[in-house]
């Protein structure tokens, strides 16, 4: 059955989300190949994750401001152009430094694309279908973990890591053509008032919520950045089966994403604290289970569920405390996720560079997640003294 015309714009946005999600995460499955080819260490290769994440963190607010007055479709096409350029540069990068710059260029589109894309998706359908429209666009990001990252890992191991970036570049071109062809212009869509939006940065609860995101999700990337060498060196998973384990992780993230959304609608803050406790326990357990092939694979699957169950509650919390300035807050929270990714990747690399073992990396990640839990508890304590003047969250 052919998709209805009303769904084609959403599918074009979902393809773009799939491409962006793939290029963000696929580098972790290819760290050994990149490190060997460019003659750098695994911790140095891991900094390519940090470089991308910092590009998102810096690029999100800058491009949100730069594109604020642009028609939304034109802004999306500009952002996809940056994505295509950055990934093509990754594919031809002659050395590590050029690859790092290319990763940052590709990352600049990330935060603003999802911020603008969510607004566009919501305005393409009737009001009572907006949540489903946004979910359809973000389904591309979830599918990137299930299909894009494992396939990109397989392709990179078979035909060289550069082939993966050429494939993602081609996917970006297809997505851009889809946006150009199917996404309508929305000249009546009101541009955000950046001065009003910036006021959110004065709110203590908004700043704490961003900190919760940085720390709560940062522990995931302290470990996940190095998942390929962990599986191959500690769990004795062959390089060719690493992609299959990443498929399982991706399935876990899909379950976690849906579970986190339901829990956030039920009781936001209690659910978030519970998820962070489970995530911490799994990271502690992984320090031991990574030595067993079967136990490590089971832990990675459960870890995927817990890790991505945090996303909807963390995003919901930021929007909740932002009040009438949700646009910039939502974009900044995407930047906060990636700041956590960057800091986590750097921290894990620093632990390895200091001579510690892979299990210590997992324990370090658990410590970062505990810091996120403490920030969440501080937010709850502050709210009891100064209730957030927004829609009740059922906490």
pLDDT tens, position by position, 9-34: 888 999 999 999 899 888 888 888 99
pLDDT-derived band of residue 275, with 50, 70 and 90 as boundaries? very high
- In this predicted structure, what is the pLDDT of residue 323? 67
* Tokens (6 digits) for 379: 């937010």
Segment 123-135 shows an average pLDDT of 68
- In this predicted structure, what is the pLDDT of residue 392? 37
pLDDT-derived band of residue 185, with 50, 70 and 90 as boundaries? confident
Q: Reply yes or no on whether the pLDDT at 242 is more than 90.
A: no
- In this predicted structure, what is the pLDDT of residue 394? 37
- In this predicted structure, what is the pLDDT of residue 198? 67
pTM: 0.74
Which of these, 245, 340, 349, 242, lies nearest to 299 by C-alpha position? 245
Least confidently predicted of 103-107, 229-233, 270-274, 320-324: 320-324
Segment 199-206 shows an average pLDDT of 76
CB atoms within 10 A of CB 159: 12
- In this predicted structure, what is the pLDDT of residue 391? 39
- In this predicted structure, what is the pLDDT of residue 2? 45
Q: What is the pLDDT of residues 43-64, one digit of tens each?
A: 888 888 888 888 888 888 888 7
Residue 194 sits at φ, ψ, to 5 deg, of -65, -30
Q: Reply yes or no on whether the pLDDT at 324 is more than 70.
A: no
- In this predicted structure, what is the pLDDT of residue 129? 67
- Compute the mean pLDDT over every residue in the chain, rounded to the nearest whole number: 85
- In this predicted structure, what is the pLDDT of residue 29? 82
């Amino acid at each position: 059955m052919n998709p209805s015309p009303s769904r084609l714009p959403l599918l074009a946005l979902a393809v773009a989300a799939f491409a962006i999600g793939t290029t963000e995460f696929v580098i972790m499955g290819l760290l050994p190949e990149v490190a060997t080819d460019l003659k750098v260490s695994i911790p140095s290769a891991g900094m390519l994750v940090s470089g991308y994440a910092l590009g998102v963190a810096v690029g999100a607010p800058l491009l949100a401001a730069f594109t604020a007055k642009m028609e939304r479709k034109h802004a999306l096409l500009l952002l996809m152009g940056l994505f295509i350029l950055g990934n093509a540069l990754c594919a031809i990068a002659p050395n590590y430094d050029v690859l790092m710059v290319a990763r940052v260029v590709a990352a600049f589109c990330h935060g603003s694309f999802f911020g603008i894309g969510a607004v566009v998706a919501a305005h393409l359908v009737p009001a009572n279908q907006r949540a489903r429209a946004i979910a359809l666009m973000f389904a591309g990001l979830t599918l990137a973990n299930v299909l894009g990252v494992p396939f990109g890992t397989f392709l990179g191991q078979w035909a060289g890591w550069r082939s993966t970036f050429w494939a993602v570049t081609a996917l970006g071109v297809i997505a851009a053509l889809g946006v150009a062809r199917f996404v309508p212009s929305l000249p009546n869509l009101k541009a955000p008032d950046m001065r009003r939006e910036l006021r959110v940065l004065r709110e203590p609860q908004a700043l704490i919520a961003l900190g919760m995101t940085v720390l709560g999700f940062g522990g995931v990337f302290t470990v996940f950045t190095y998942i390929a060498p962990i599986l191959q060196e500690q769990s004795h998973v062959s390089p060719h089966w690493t992609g299959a384990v990443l498929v399982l992780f991706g399935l876990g993230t899909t379950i976690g994403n849906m579970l986190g959304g339901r829990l956030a609608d039920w009781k936001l803050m209690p659910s978030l604290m519970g998820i962070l406790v489970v995530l911490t326990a799994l990271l502690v357990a992984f320090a031991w289970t990574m030595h067993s092939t079967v136990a490590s694979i089971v832990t990675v699957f459960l870890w995927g569920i817990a890790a991505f169950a945090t996303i909807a509650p963390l995003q919901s919390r930021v929007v909740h405390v932002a009040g009438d300035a949700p646009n910039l807050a939502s974009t900044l929270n995407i930047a906060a996720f990636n700041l956590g990714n960057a800091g986590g990747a750097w921290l894990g690399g620093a632990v390895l560079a200091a001579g510690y073992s892979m299990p210590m990396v997992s324990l370090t990640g658990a410590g970062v997640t505990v810091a996120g839990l403490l920030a969440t508890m501080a937010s709850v304590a502050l709210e009891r003294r100064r209730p957030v003047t927004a829609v009740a969250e059922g906490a």
